[in-house]
Structure 1
């Protein structure tokens, strides 16, 4: 690895900062303490701060040696919010707030961008501006969309925008990027079947919604296997079925909920249309009715090819070919997708390992649980801070140093 020496030297200090953020998690649009901490550090390093984008989001501007006069700019983004879950780790920096946890590593993403900001402000060996985007509410709140609505890219029209996410299971310190879709759209459905309740011993006098619900769950999978093209990717997962209050009563209604994931809007349109048709006509065939709700949350995260190729070259120089990996697409979702709809760019993965880093914590307290995302035993690997920060610094310097096409 060819990491920046000053970033490596500052790792213990930045790790303490990361653990402080981990111990004080804040949920979507409530990241007040976190935003204050970020703003204080940026101000200390001579970086102007702009507050109030997307409610609790903020932007820092690192101007190069030209004071940003050339007008060129690149955007680097970190998400700030925690998850509404209870942490089960017992180490010293575990969450101090019941029901809130940095279970996805956003504490690490913040720290990486702060470390990079400090180094960029120290060097300023580039022309243009690095726009530091500290975004709220990634976990379901659509904070990226809200910052864009508040004028993020109108005020700072970056040429490209980049984000990263730590990725458990990839070798520690490895980096991965690929062109095209790398994360899926996130969508939710709720189907309420209205039948006619009655005595379970006399089902002929009822319209039972439960067999219909069971048939619909199975029918939805024919959309995946028989309606969409086999080479297209799509997932329909029914995750909740609610009906009934007593064993001897046929309920009036049954509610089905779940999620749909796709890599393209065209496949999503097809799935929504077929789910609606199956629901409406199947209910009619049983003498029932239905209410069909379908909510589109996050679009697919699609890396633009030139930007993915550019950042891959930076990765190769930084960590070498052995640790520069192809990004395997995932059906998880990410609201950085909104930023990639507004500007070209790429979303990257940074290998978090398999949790071995927890073995060295003073006093233990890591337990034996897996160190995977959204798991109560998860913790970010502090060894990644100089890797991610070095990547951001070199990417920004090289991007702003290249001639415009």
Structure 2
């Protein structure tokens, strides 16, 4: 520890000193009782924490400031070490980094520091979280919002803090989709996904089905707005969030949500690309055997008019074949065969390749029982091929 107070640090030495300091403090927190520490050691630790509180706000050396935040995170676990002044410095540091444009970027160490304070139920954590919530409710700011959202992901480390923050994050996200505020929508989707993943890692409870229902409802509602020309690029981040939530939902919940999406697709006649992206995000990531065959959806997805460079219809078919209840497989394949007859086109050939991929994914690692299905589908496709007007373009597929 005395290294920290020696002559000016040069080169990599500051980083090495800070790493050693963090490791030492973490070890001390786990092995020692600070109340029983000698007066001399207690004084040195107090001097060390005071120095860390200075370094954590050193904007001239952002790397060292981040390392200091990591070391302070370790000190929070030592009861009685930090003074009221130290805690106030930590609070003001987190607020400054999260809300001031001139401050250094929010680092993982800042989030970990807030998360540790939340787990310990420190008053400073409640103060910071309340401020973050206020900033989120104010809406999008081009330079401040990402700072606020990045810091807000720390709420996932604690059940109470998550229940305090998640409704505001969800409401803001739903509103951003409905109001066509793409920049805000993308940021909120990105950091909501971070919250969900962090909660999973920390063992914090998230009501995945309720969140997914809200996202899906807003997504569908936005596509029905006459004032909006939906671009698929606006929904990429949201699709990643939907994928994660679909993985976490129970089979019964996902079936209910999927039925809502299905009805929307059928009403659309020819679904838009953003709507197909929603279908793909749910179907390809739901639990296996969570859905039964629906001939209406199969016929819709096998329509060659949906063929495009993004292959969304094909991906949806692959996901459908992969996740179907086992007894419905033949039913779906028969429906596909009838949809693709009598004229064979390049678009249908592309869809066939995606169906094949779905069959192979379903059979992995035991592919034997699906080999005959793949052969059957391709054999029949070859038979149809010779009556196609695009025969020369299709030969390469087979």
TM-score computed with the length of structure 1 as normaliser? 0.20
Structure with greater strand percent = 1
Q: Tell me which of the two structures has the higher relative contact order, counting C-alpha pairs closer than 8 angstroms and 6 or more residues apart.
A: 1
Larger Rg: 2
TM-score computed with the length of structure 2 as normaliser? 0.21
